Structure 1
Amino acid sequence: MPELPEVETVRQTLSKLVRGKKVEQVEVSWPKIIKKPDDTEAFCLLLHGQEIQHIGRRGKFLTFQLDDYVLVSHLRMEGKYEMGDGLDPDKHTHVRFFFSDGTELRYKDVRKFGTMHLFPKGEEISALPLSQLGPEPFEDPAFTSDYLKETFQKTSRDVKTVLLDQRAVAGLGNIYVDEALFKAGIRPDAKASELSHSQMKKLHAKVEETIESAVKKGGSSVRSYVNGNGEMGMFQLELNVYGRQGEACTVCGSEILKTVVAGRGTHYCSSCQQIV
């Protein structure tokens, strides 16, 4: 699933490609993607004539800011946007946005897990799926070490489970939690509430550092992720632990281990990550 850096990269790319374009027609071939309104025809009619003013992001969600509405889009596992190439769409193209200048934006999703919600402008923040998201570790002043400390002290869960909880911290997923915990020297199964204040401050800094670095590199293409131009991210070349089980640690040379935490495959170095 694309995490914050990948979705932010898609946002930046789409902003250059479609901002200022006016929607002339929308075609939906897989109605289950459209979650709001529950009438797909109404979804298409409401978008007619709307100009894309801005492409935003909240956690792992894209937000298309239109004249009167906001389209909230989640890519889930395999969703991606790309501009039409003049050829007939393939079987994985499920939503097509036709613009008044003759160009076209296509939403493709091999597994069909992606979602789209259309809200009157201003209502999207107070309604699901955005209303329960916590602060995020990228250009969000609400994400502070004090916030992390307060959040950790309220729970008996392990640190990785808390960081993966979108209600606690928006935008993080398996890749970047594993990487940030490695940089902070903290085991993924360490109890969040038992971390010291200095450990929480270091973790906060390493989460932000990891996310900012990944955004600069265009995210991580560890599966099928590409941006709106079809380009891969390059942060996967800098991964220290994720996906490297059995390999030597880049810092100490010990073997990278893999276990399961929060129901997710979890990678760590037992020598570098000794805080439990």
Structure 2
Amino acid sequence: MPELPEVEVTRRSVGGIEGARVLAMRLGKPLRWPLGVEPQSIEGLRVGPIGRRGKYLWLPLMPEPDSLSDRSVGGLLVHLGMSGSLAFGEHLGAPGKHDHVELVTDRGLLRLTDPRRFGAVVWSSALDAEPAARLLAGLGPEPFDPAWTSEALHAALKTRRTAVKLALLSGELVVGAGNIYASDALWEAGIDPRTPCSRIGPLRSTRLHAAIQRVLGEAIAAGGSTLRDYRNAHGEVGQYQGLARVYGRAGEACARCGGRIRRIVQGQRATYFCIGCQRR
């Protein structure tokens, strides 16, 4: 599943569409939720600066600056689901059976490919209006928001008794620490993934906060992770999987202490950690 680094890399790789005029929108097989408007209603609108909240992309659409139209500003909220990816370019070829949404603009074609169809493209009049407000309501803080501090993380950890790895995957403590990145961040911080959140004190919270930011930052710089079919909007694969500290390395020696990396299952997801230097 594309996580925050992959979605952020996608956001950056479709930046060329900003300022483009929408000529048409074509829909294929239904995705998780309906679009919510007639595709023809967004023709002639301009794409504004693309944003991201958690694993959602926001494509604001607005009338021409000198237009007399009374159409309100809105946008498309995009989620890549389990296997989705966006492609953007002038020559993408004919759509295939897994290509379900196409936004035709005067700068190129934006295409959503989603073999499993768990993704979504939904119209909303604003991020704080329905349905966007409802879809974004349960998201935790952004990992690079200055307001998300180690003190804020510690305060959130103190109220939970669940294992810290599961709490990270929930997205309530912070968005973006998906399975690969949560495992690696916990290794960086020296914390056993089975540790109850409430047992993590201020010092270890500070280490975990820094580790999450460092791992996610490195993943974005590496273009995300490609374990199966993830590509950015230009068809380029991610490289972080080759840099992973512990994820996917069961049985190998820990780069820090030489101990063995172990694989367990938590919440039906694989967890990797070093039994020698990650402490409860």
TM-score normalised over the length of structure 1: 0.92
**CA offsets 1:142-176 (integer angstroms, 9 cap, x no match):** 21111111111111111111111123311221010
Alignment of 1:141-180 (within 5 A): 141-180=146-185
Instruction: Give the partner amino acid of 1:3.
Output: E
Instruction: Give the partner amino acid of 2:150.
Output: S
**Is residue 56 of structure 2 the alignment partner of residue 51 of structure 1?**
no
- Say which of 101, 104, 112 aligns to 1:98: 104
Deviation, structure 1 residue 124: 4.5
Say if 2:76 and 2:122, in contact at 8 Å, map to a contact too.
yes
Segment of structure 1 superposing worse, 233-242 or 6-15: 233-242
Cα distance in 2 for residues equivalent to 1:2 and 1:184: 24
**CA offsets 1:66-97 (integer angstroms, 9 cap, x no match):** 11112111112110111353522111111111
**Is residue 13 of structure 2 the alignment partner of residue 10 of structure 1?**
no
Q: Once superposed, which parts of structure 1, at least 4 consecutive aligned residues long, lie more than 6 Å away?
A: none
Partner of 2:65: none
Query: Gaps spanning 5+ residues in structure 2: where?
Result: 63-72
- Say which of 260, 264, 275 aligns to 1:270: 275
Segment of structure 1 superposing worse, 216-225 or 178-187: 216-225
Deviation, structure 1 residue 197: 0.9
Say if 1:43 and 1:118, in contact at 8 Å, map to a contact too.
no
- Say which of 101, 104, 114 aligns to 2:119: 114
Partner of 2:22: 23
Cα distance in 1 for residues equivalent to 2:35 and 2:197: 36
Alignment of 1:169-208 (within 5 A): 169-208=174-213
Partner of 2:262: 257
Query: Gaps spanning 5+ residues in structure 1: where?
Result: none
Say if 1:260 and 1:266, in contact at 8 Å, map to a contact too.
yes
Say if 2:127 and 2:133, in contact at 8 Å, map to a contact too.
no
Of all paired residues, the percent bearing the same amino acid is 37
Cα distance in 1 for residues equivalent to 2:204 and 2:35: 42
What is the RMSD of the two structures over their aligned residues, measured on CA atoms? Answer: 1.7
Cα distance in 2 for residues equivalent to 1:31 and 1:256: 42
Partner of 1:87: 93
Segment of structure 1 superposing worse, 247-256 or 197-206: 247-256
